[in-house]
Amino acid sequence: MKVYNTLTKKIEPFVPNHGKEVKLYTCGPTVYDYAHIGNLRTYIFEDVLEKSLNYLGYSVIRTMNITDVGHLANDSDDGEDKMLKGALREKKSVYEIADFYTNAFFEDCKKLNIKRPQYVSKASDHIDDYIHMIEKLLQDGYAYQANGNVYFDVSKMPDYYKLSGKNPDDLKVAVRDDVEHDTFKRNPADFGLWFTNSKFNNQAMKWDSPWGVGYPGWHIECSNIAIHFLGEYLDIHCGGVDNIFPHHSNEIAQSEAYLGHKWCNYWMHGEYLNDETGKMSKSKGEFLTLSLLIKKGYDPLSYRYFCLESHYRKQLAFSYESLDRAVSSYQSLKNKVKHMMNEVTGEVDENLFHDYQQKFKDALSDDLNTANALTVLYEVLKHDMNNKTKLALIEDFDQVLSLSLLKVEEIDDDLKQQVLELIAERTEAKKEKNFARADEIREILKNMGIQIKDTREGTTFEKIS
Ligand code: AMP
Ligand code: ZN
């Protein structure tokens, strides 16, 4: 397998530390609100990575954190506390907010066929680990105390900028513009490891520590959770490109200072999902959640398909038009498979099976080229091999694609009720000559994979995927 490594800025052969065993760490969500579909693009990429590694014969141990404490809104130490912001907005405690949105996140993942990592751990469950790491960093001179807080001194790490490729002088200029710059730091890029003197007086999550009652910085959690579950040597660390700086750069600095050796060999980053104004984010434009797409009638798996059509290292522009194109491709793909399942003929042709399996592997081994992997799937569909072989290959590929290609959708009672209500509303809208709404409902039903037909006896419907 070859992957693009952000650390070396090159596509490199992937060689794990221990034979075929891969230790994979992926940064998890900050649970103060729903994930938007941009966040979910990153988790789809990481899911495809884990499943591709399995498909290619590696065994993967994967860990993910849940950020329920310490993450500030602009990634620098001067931002707003995201969790506190969520709690104030919803008049709940930070613990309630964290639980609610953690569940919501895993619900979204389930709907997108994203597998839950083997180890998932909350940042607030590792306070002792952080205290231990910070004590050692202070002892060895990598960290210092100032104004009641403990900071990491980035000047002690000569290769601090190796991951980001950033220029420290540019950063100085950027920081000078920041009116809230923390004057107690020795260097502008230094970052907080432990805060006792925070500007958030009402911070709810606080713990005792050798430096007073306080709470950890954001970056320290990932280093510790990774080391706690995966040990001192990590094979791959992932996140979105916005994590490269400062988050992952800080993770490397503190982990390598603490461990005294190189920590992680491969850093892989997923590119942004953009809206018409740029990077999709929670604070601007329409807040696009998976639930919103479902409400509009979209099958979550058509969003997964939409993501798989493009390479994880390319920015992807979201629009309803482009999603609609993915919906029709996905529905027609599912339809083809469904028809094939009605006519299963012959025996599996082992030679063809292995040839196409190899092509599929080649696509994944090429830095996770999911678009080419889908092309291999379409080649199988077009080929004149028997349906038994085709279905065996589809089932095999779906271990990675996870598009539920062989799942025949039954119309369950809930769906039927929802469809009947929409059809009744459409009939009413037509009576009132509100054709715009009637068309909108036809569109919603289409997105749900329901095709309607107006007959003299009334409107009938069938599930088309
Ligand atoms: P957060 O919950 O804000 O910590 O973000 C969770 C993950 O989503 C991180 O790995 C981010 O890098 C990633 N992310 C944030 N915005 C986007 C976006 N517009 N497109 C893709 N990934 C994103
Ligand atoms: Zn992280």
pLDDT value at position 175? Answer: 46
Q: In this structure, are 218 and 317 located in the same domain?
A: no
Q: In this structure, are 253 and 342 located in the same domain?
A: no
For the CA of 270, the nearest ligand? 1
pLDDT value at position 202? Answer: 63
Q: In this structure, are 24 and 104 located in the same domain?
A: yes
pLDDT value at position 172? Answer: 62
Reported as a pLDDT band with limits 50, 70 and 90, residue 74 is low
Q: In this structure, are 394 and 427 located in the same domain?
A: no
**Ligand 1 proximal residues by C-beta, below 6 Å:** 27, 29-30, 38-39, 41-42, 239-240, 242-243, 270, 272-273, 279-280
Mean pLDDT of 105-128: 97
- Amino acid at the residue 333: L
**Residue among 42, 106, 311 to mutate when testing ligand 1 (max atoms within 8 A of CB):** 42
pLDDT value at position 417? Answer: 87
Mean pLDDT of 419-425: 92
Gap between the terminal Cα atoms of the chain: 34
- Whether residue 89 contacts residue 19, with contact meaning beta carbons closer than 8 Å, is answered with no
Residue at a domain's end among 270, 289, 307: 270
d(CA 194, CA 133): 11
Other beta carbons within 10 angstroms of residue 153's beta carbon come to 20
Residue 92 has pLDDT above 60, yes or no: yes
For the CA of 29, the nearest ligand? 1
- Total tally of structural domains belonging to the chain: 3
CATH code where residue 84 lies:
3.40.50.620
Reported as a pLDDT band with limits 50, 70 and 90, residue 305 is very high
Residue 71 has pLDDT above 50, yes or no: yes
13 found inside a domain: yes
Reported as a pLDDT band with limits 50, 70 and 90, residue 409 is confident
pLDDT value at position 200? Answer: 63
Mean pLDDT of 44-70: 96
308 found inside a domain: yes
- Whether residue 154 contacts residue 253, with contact meaning beta carbons closer than 8 Å, is answered with yes
pLDDT value at position 178? Answer: 39
pLDDT value at position 264? Answer: 98
Residue 156 CA to ligand 2 center (angstroms) comes to 21
pLDDT value at position 42? Answer: 98
Mean pLDDT of 420-432: 93
Residue 224 CA to ligand 2 center (angstroms) comes to 10
Range with lowest mean pLDDT among 189-203, 269-283, 384-398, 441-455: 189-203
d(CA 184, CA 382): 65
Q: In this structure, are 265 and 393 located in the same domain?
A: no
Domain encompassing residue 129 = 2-270
Residue 82 has pLDDT above 80, yes or no: no
Mean pLDDT of 106-114: 98
Reported as a pLDDT band with limits 50, 70 and 90, residue 222 is very high
pLDDT value at position 78? Answer: 58
Residue 123: name the closest of 222, 193, 226, 238 by CA. Answer: 222
pLDDT tens for 171-190 read 664 444 433 557 889 998 99
Q: In this structure, are 369 and 430 located in the same domain?
A: no
Q: Which of the two residues, 145 and 201, has the higher pLDDT score?
A: 145
Q: In this structure, are 206 and 317 located in the same domain?
A: no
Residue at a domain's end among 223, 252, 270: 270
407 found inside a domain: no
Residue 387 CA to ligand 2 center (angstroms) comes to 45
- For 358, how many CA atoms within 13 A lie in the half-sphere containing its CB? 6
Other beta carbons within 10 angstroms of residue 340's beta carbon come to 18
For the CA of 269, the nearest ligand? 1
Residue at a domain's end among 225, 249, 270: 270
Q: How far is CA 117 from CA 50, 97, 233, 308, 446, in A?
A: 9, 22, 18, 20, 33
408 found inside a domain: no
Q: In this structure, are 83 and 162 located in the same domain?
A: yes
Mean pLDDT of 405-423: 85
